[in-house]
Structure 1
Amino acid sequence: MSPVRRGHAAHSALTVRTVLGDVDPADLGTCDAHDHLFLTSPQLPGQELDSPASAAQELAAFREVEGESLIQWTPHGMGRRAGDLPGLSRASGVGIVAATGLHQAAHYATELLERLRTDGLADLFVREITEGIADTGVRAGLIKVAGGFHGLDAHARWTMEAAAEAHHATGAPITVHLELGTGALDVIDLLCGELNVPPDRLVLGHLNRSPDLAIHHQAAEAGAYLAFDGPSRANHATDWRMPDAVQALTEAGFADQLLLGGDTTTAKARAVNGGPGLPYLLRRVRPRLELAVGEEVVGRMLRENPARAFAVEWA
């Protein structure tokens, strides 16, 4: 197993696992590196993303602004509707990557977590990557887990240990929800230090929600990919602080480790419902960042960087 390394030429064996099969990383094109077409949680009552028709409209709007692929971070047990993803991908012309993994405990019933502990969480992740998500034939292309607020609780350590085991068995990249953008260094210490996950197989999400440039620099220096995702949320210091963070990291030499995503998590945030939705990333965020770091760097963030971050020589 030889995962892609930053700065190395692409090899034909490296592919991204989409819902329509494994593809050349270059075929991702312009990529939203963190978003959701479907997502349900008791933490978001009444705001479920559970409509295939709405997802189709959102993908069409994304395609109209030159979006070519989307990485869906919705993990196991949160309404992924994996069986709907291939048809949506074909109809829209947008490539879609599905996830396995597990979010914070608050998003699940106690009974489900107990069953997963009994059945084996790493086994589930490996099965959904290699054999497919149950009754769909869709194979996951990444493992999504989550940290806590400024630290890692027992649930986070359990899920990350399982993610590391599944990574070592398959090569799949691991993406991490950082609660309000915090805990990045704790995640790196656990996954890359204790559990031997190569840092360039790790994508840290929501760093824009905690605009601590020193922490951003340390995380990038460790070798992880940094995802600036969830724009349009003014209460999270996203849009208005993101250009400064991206510029600082670019000037420090880390432009090849930066990703962009929209992270649409509620029905009201969809463009079809009057929210920013999937198109916002390319329609508003892209030109704003280009003012800060230029078109070439933003192009790398949307195209070359996700092509490396999610490419694997699958075991």
Structure 2
Amino acid sequence: MTASRTVTTMRGPIDAEGLGFTLMHEHLFVRSLETAQNYSTTWDSDDVRVADAVRQLEAVRADGVSAIVDLTVLGIGRDIRLMDRVAQEVGLHIIAATGAYVLDRLPYHFRFHPPTRNGDLAAGLAEWFVRDIEEGIAGTRIRAGVIKCATDTAGMTEDVVASVRAAAITANHTGALIMTHADAALRNGHDQQRIFVQEGVDLSRVVIGHVGDSTDLNYHRSLMDSGMTIGLDRFGLGLSTSERVAAIVTLCREGYSDRMVLSHDAACHSEWIDTATPGLENWNFQYVPRVVVPLLHEKGVAESDVQNLVVNNPQRLLGMARTSEERER
């Protein structure tokens, strides 16, 4: 039987061909839940924040975006039920993630209750992540469509290695796409790559995040030449737009448009970063469709390359082969 490709969204599976313009690395809400439960934060109320998120997502939908990938996982304050309230009210597709955002150590809970399998922490974590993909997140019907892991300035600590290995194990079991947070200045996308290779991951099913934070195009090329895709996914934050766009123009001319995706790493609301801070005026979901895509056209990037960046690559990466029987389960 011929298999088609489907994308797991928060409202259920859809045909990959219907995904459209997709922002590949965003967040609905970034929160510190324990702080919010005990002290005053920037969180007004669930109702206020849900309504504001719906407003922002409908605005970006009007700009032609039809899907976003939300990479909020353990360590960033994922609340799948709150996310679901937004997903049910907006006209675009939201893809949720499983995995862990571990920059140094897992939450202290794991010191006393490590979810190991035969003494292997990574395998134990992977069982949780697989359940999020195959059964649903936190007892809901909502299944994750991608896997998240992270490395940063702390390097490859024991817990970071376990979480990256868990992502690899989960990908091998489910076929889901791995999407990462990586520090471009330290080039630690290569650290992630080494673990993925050790675990036998199909590198064409990996997106190394935040590579666009660096102007070192040799770093970009080295990751893509291995078969992986890179995230040029922090427009409006840090490195200037002109530098980010110049990198895309060069790499498209070199034939790499099939291994890059665009986004902002922004949030409808973040308790970690005040978006009113000077210099962050462009850090929002609308900047890529309104400013970056027109700039790429202005710089002579072919329409076929632009379509790769925002439509074709997300469709290929997020889609997983499923028979009709599997889709109905």
* TM bucket normalised to smaller: 0.7 to 0.9
* Aligned residue among 75, 78, 92 for 2:76: 78
In the alignment, what sits opposite 1:136? 140
1:313: Cα distance to partner?
2.4
> Which residue in 2 is equivalent to 1:198?
202
What is the deviation of 1:274? 6.6
2:177 pairs, out of 173, 178, 195, with 173
Q: From the superposition, tell whether residues 151 and 105 of structure 1 become closer, same or farther in structure 2 (CA, over 3 Å).
A: closer
**Mind listing any 5+ residue stretches in structure 1 that lack a counterpart?**
1-10
State the one-letter code of the partner of 1:269. Answer: T
Task: Note the alpha carbon deviations across 1:47-74, whole angstroms, 9 max, x for none.
Answer: 6697222211111111121110000011
Corresponding position: 1:68 with 2:66: yes
Match of 2:254 in 1: 252
Could you tell me whether the CA contact under 8 Å between 1:269 and 1:275 is conserved in 2? no
Which stretch shifts more, 118-127 or 162-171?
118-127
Mapped partners of 1:13, 1:77: distance in 2: 34
Q: How many residues align?
A: 300
Q: Letter of the aligned partner of 2:5 in structure 1?
A: L
Unmatched 5+ residue regions in structure 2? 118-123
The secondary structure found in structure 2 opposite 1:38 is: strand
Paired letter, 2:243: R
The answer for the alignment partner of 1:269 in structure 2 is: 275
Out of 56, 59, 65, the position equivalent to 1:58 is 56
| Distance across 2 between alignment mates of 1:66 and 1:197 | 33
Q: Distance in 1 between matches of 2:183 and 2:112?
A: 23
C-alpha spacing 1:150/1:252, structure 2 compared with 1 (3 Å): farther
The answer to which of 211-220 and 107-116 deviates more is 107-116
Match of 1:184 in 2: 189
C-alpha distance in 2, partners of 1:215/1:307? 25
Please name the residue that 2:290 is paired with: 283
Asked if structure 1 preserves the Cα contact closer than 8 Å seen for 2:104 and 2:159, the reply is no
Q: Aligned equivalents of 1:112 and 1:54: distance in 2? A: 34
The one-letter code sitting in structure 1 at the alignment partner of 2:166 is A
Deviation at 1:275, TM superposition (A): 5.8
- SS of equivalent residue, structure 1 residue 145: strand
Measured against aligned partners, the alpha-carbon deviations of 1:236-265 in whole angstroms (never above 9, x if no partner) come to: 324121122112221222111110012114
Deviation at 1:155, TM superposition (A): 2.1
Partner of 2:225 in structure 1?
Answer: 221
Residue of structure 2 equivalent to 1:5: none
Is contact 1:65-1:279 (8 Å) kept?
yes
* Segment of structure 1 superposing worse, 248-257 or 60-69: 248-257
Q: Aligned-pair RMSD on alpha carbons?
A: 2.7
Could you report, residue by residue, the CA deviation over 1:124-146 in whole angstroms, capped at 9, with x for unpaired residues? 10000001001321100011000
Structure 1: which amino acid aligns with 2:296? L
CA drift of 1:123 comes to 0.7
How far did residue 154 of structure 1 move?
Answer: 2.1
Q: Which has the larger radius of gyration?
A: 2
- The amino acid across from 1:288 in the alignment is L
Task: Give me the whole-angstrom Cα distance separating, in 1, the residues matched to 2:43 and 2:194.
Answer: 34
How far did residue 159 of structure 1 move?
A: 0.6
C-alpha displacement of 1:91: 2.3
Counterpart residue number, 1:210: 214
> Within 5 A, what are the aligned runs for 1:154-169?
154-169=158-173
Helix, strand or coil for the counterpart of 2:208? strand
Structure 1 residues 86 and 40 mapped into 2: Cα distance closer, same or farther (>3 Å)? closer
**8 A contact 1:231–1:281 mirrored in 2:** yes
* Letter matched to residue 241 of structure 1: E
After superposition, the Cα gap between the structure-2 partners of 1:150 and 1:274, relative to the gap in structure 1 and judged at 3 Å, is: closer
Give the residue type in structure 1 aligned to 2:50.
P
Q: Match of 2:54, SS?
A: helix
Tell me which amino acid in the other structure corresponds to 1:313. A
Partner in structure 2 of residue 110 of structure 1? 108
Q: In the alignment, is the contact (CA less than 8 A) between 1:33 and 1:306 conserved in 2?
A: yes
Aligned to 1:6: none
C-alpha deviation, 1:79, in angstroms: 2.5
Contact preservation (8 Å) 1:83, 1:138: no
Question: Counterpart in 2 of 1:38?
Answer: 29
Output the TM-score relative to the length of structure 1: 0.86
Deviations 1:142-187 (A, max 9, x none): 1100012394332221111111111111111100101245312222
Q: 1:187 to 1:238 in 2, by over 3 A?
A: farther
Shift of 1:298: 1.5
> Contact 1:148–1:156 (CA<8 Å) still a contact in 2?
no
Q: Describe the superposition over 1:3-27 as per-residue Cα deviations: whole angstroms up to 9, x where unpaired.
A: xxxxxxxx64321111111111111
